[in-house]
Amino acid sequence: MLLWSAYTSADLVAITALGNMARSQGDVDNDYSKPSRDIQAFWVPFILLHLGGPDTITAYSLEDNELWLRHFLVLLIQIGIAFYVFIRSWKKTTLTFIAIPLFVTGIIKYLERTCVLKSSSFKHLRNSLLFKPQIKYVLVKEKETEKEVLRREVKEEENTLLTHEKVEPNSNYLCQAYYLFKRSRYLFAELILDYYERVESYSIIHNKQPSDVFKLIEIELGFMYDKLYTKASFVYSFPGIFLRLICFFSSLSGFIAFSVNVDDHDYPLIDIKITYILLIGAISLEIYAFVVLLLSDWTHCWLAKQEKIKTLNSYQLRKRWSRSMAQHSLINFCYRLYGENMDCKCITWKPVKQDLLTLIFKQVLQKSSTISYDRYDLELCKKFLSQRGDYVLGKRNCLDEFSWSTIKVEFDHSLLLWHIATYLCYVADFPKKANLKVIEPNCLISKYLSNYMMYLLVECPFMLPKGIGEIRYKDTCTELIKFLELKFELKGFPDHEREASKALLQVEFDKSEDERGDQSKSVLFDGCKLARQLQSLEARPGWDRKQKWEMVSEVWVEMLAYAANHCGWKEHAQQLTNGGELLTHVCVLMAHLGLSEQYQLQKQYIKRMEMPTWVCYVCVPSLCICIIIVETFKLGKRFVISVTRLVSLMNRINCSKAKV
């Protein structure tokens, strides 16, 4: 809240301060305030300098990038007011000449921020990544008229991403992450990647351990965050470093010149102290920016490319993803409610453990490897992306029994059903204070993923497929509270969670969804029905509790992957400001393994597939020989027919002569 308040109020405070300074410069009646007015005019460049902001933040949200033109208008207004104040206070004094380089520095910093906002907007980011053909004009002579004409030649390059750059699977992690980042930029810009990009990304990560893969994605998303919300795209370039040096030495020289040449007794003491604070603050920010520059992943990646460093533990340089996921349980939420207060929050956090990452990577890699490596099967890819539990249920021969809870209902409906069923099965299988070491790992995975998906439904519904999930959630909560009040005859019963869960498992609802009508979208008792079906699996031959929870955990991973793919890249990018979501990491992982519709084949590749080398050397000559033989046969046949017709004609002529 403090950061957001400072970010949003910075422009207002600056305009107010500059307005007060402009008004004070017009006050010529009070001779006592003249020294104070002179040194206050010296503060004007610092307002512009600090409005430029630190290098680590330019935008608080993606909308700030889209409003870069509004920021540019504010920039012109503030620079105009600052220039007016500076001209009104112009005197041939030491203080005025010290302020000139600081004034230039302030304009540079403020203009730099606006340019970065523009370059990070969706339109300009997309345009900067679009393919541009090389066009040139040449003079040629026409053969008939011998006149020189201007001919336009277009040289189309292959629409690939830096095809000259190759990254080995065993190279430095930062280099690999940067290589993947340059491909994910196209995904976030809603552009298309070609077959070769899938092959390269797949070859980098498919043989790695799950922990290493997600560390790569962490660094990659860190680069993406810097691109969208910081000045990284400009700072980590030669012009950016050059301007950093100018700003630093301008602030440092201003501090030294003010300390040496300005007499402290010529101005009020409080104004002298404020001036020193502003100068020291400007120098401190430049030093801090330089330290961040040295310790950033961008710098270490550059050093790794230059082979200045062989090994680097880049994961300790700065904190990236917190490796945690939010938790929200619908039933626990209702247990803590008193009456029908729907504003109560019940959010906790759980760490994303290694076994969960392993299960996600294993399941995504299994589907990705099913798609042919040599010929990208887009239809099969679309089929995998549309599955949200039916693939897992089909493998275990349970699809016919459980299809009513997955493919035959909307996604938010299915999510609520499986969330309620997972909670009830968990409570039924394990005691209240069971040791986590005793609980099945897949059971904990199922519970944590279930609560995480419910958190997304409640707090981040824009990251899930469109539907009426929020309405279903509220109706289900209302029906659960009424059921508990009727069952236990009290409101808010934190001590009866397990008793209530057992009662839900035993309840039978005698009305179908069609008979209930459209007044209530509650799925409470359908979730109880699903829980009873899952519990009944343990009584079947070949099934036990472990296999049941394996299936449930795999269903939740598939639902997670489905939601990740159907979430827009803009929503994924927006959540980077909050530390990133597990959903975003899964979506990037799927894209790098080829499970994305943002891939297409190049024309050159299609030609190579349709006519391989052996076809050129074997089939083509054979085809030519066959054509020659056929044509020769046709020619011979025509020759025989012609001779026959000629003989027949001669016979007719001879007969006619004989008659005459």
Lowest mean pLDDT among 308-312, 327-331, 345-349, 486-490: 308-312
pLDDT at 609: 41
In the chain, % helix, strand, coil (3-state, to 5) comes to: 70, 5, 25
Amino acid identity, position 392: V
Domain ranges of the chain: 2-120+237-295, 324-566, 611-642
For the segment 366-383, the average pLDDT, to the nearest whole number, is 78
Report whether pLDDT(592) > 50. yes
DSSP string for 330-350: HHHHHHT-STT-TT----EEE
pLDDT of the residue at 459? 92
CB contact burial 349-360 (16+ within 10 A = b; e otherwise): ebebeeebbbbb
The stretch 126-135 carries a mean pLDDT of: 69
More confident of the two residues 638 and 296: 296
Residue 657 confidence (pLDDT): 55
Residue 68: pLDDT above 80? yes
Quote the pLDDT of residue 154.
42
When mean pLDDT is compared across 86-90, 162-166, 537-541, the lowest value belongs to 162-166
Contact predicate 151/137, CB 8 Å: yes
Mean pLDDT of 309-320: 52
Which tens digits make up the pLDDT trace of 246-260? 989 999 998 999 888
What confidence tier does 99 reach under pLDDT thresholds 50, 70, 90? Answer: confident
Taken as a whole, the chain contains a residue count of 660
Confidence of residue 150 (pLDDT cuts 50, 70, 90): very low
Q: Which of 26-35, 184-193, 238-247, 369-378 has the lowest mean pLDDT?
A: 26-35
The mean predicted confidence, pLDDT, of the chain is 80
640 or 484, higher pLDDT: 484
For 549-568, the pLDDT digits (tens) are 999 999 999 999 999 999 99
Q: Between these two residues, 346 and 48, which has the higher pLDDT value?
A: 48
| pLDDT band, residue 381 (cuts 50/70/90) | confident
Mean of pLDDT values over 166-195: 82
Residue 217: band (very low, low, confident or very high) from pLDDT cuts 50, 70, 90: very high
Q: How confident is the model at residue 539 (pLDDT cuts 50, 70, 90)?
A: confident
pLDDT at 357: 95
The lowest-confidence range among 68-72, 138-142, 595-599 is 138-142
Q: What is the pLDDT of residue 93?
A: 77
274-307: pLDDT as tens digits = 999 999 999 998 898 888 888 888 888 888 877 6
The whole-angstrom separation of Cα 350 and Cα 359 is 17
**How many CB atoms sit inside 10 A of residue 433's CB?**
5
Rounded CA separation 41/275 (Å): 11
Per-residue pLDDT averaged across 48-66, rounded? 88
Q: Which two tokens stand for residue 365?
A: 């890699």
pLDDT at residue 23 greater than cutoff 80? no
pLDDT of residue 472: 93
More confident residue, 336 or 105: 105
Q: Residue 512: which pLDDT band, with cuts at 50, 70 and 90?
A: very low
Give 161's pLDDT tier (boundaries 50, 70, 90).
very low
Highest mean pLDDT among 52-66, 143-157, 334-348: 52-66
CA–CA separation, 387 vs 370, rounded Å?
15
pLDDT of residue 359 exceeding 90, the answer is yes
**Per-residue confidence band for 117, with pLDDT thresholds at 50, 70 and 90:** very high
Return d(Cα 549, Cα 439) in angstroms, integer. 11
Task: Give the residue from 583, 587, 180, 606 showing the smallest Cα distance to 376.
Answer: 606
Predicted local confidence at residue 645, as pLDDT: 66
pLDDT grade, residue 615 (50/70/90)?
very low
Query: What pLDDT does 175 receive?
Result: 87
Question: Is residue 530 over pLDDT 90?
Answer: yes
Burial of residue 607 (CB within 10 Å: 0-12, 13-18, 19+) is exposed
pLDDT at 182 over 80: yes
Greater confidence, 433 or 144?
433
Residue 358 has pLDDT above 90, yes or no: yes
Most confident of 12-26, 182-196, 490-504: 182-196
Count CB neighbours of 364 within 10 A: 25
Residue 632 pLDDT > 60, yes or no?
A: yes
Kindly indicate the confidence band of residue 130, based on its pLDDT and cuts at 50, 70 and 90: confident
- Average the pLDDT over 602-606 and give the result: 42
Question: Across 86-90, 94-98, 246-250, 486-490, which has the greatest mean pLDDT?
Answer: 246-250
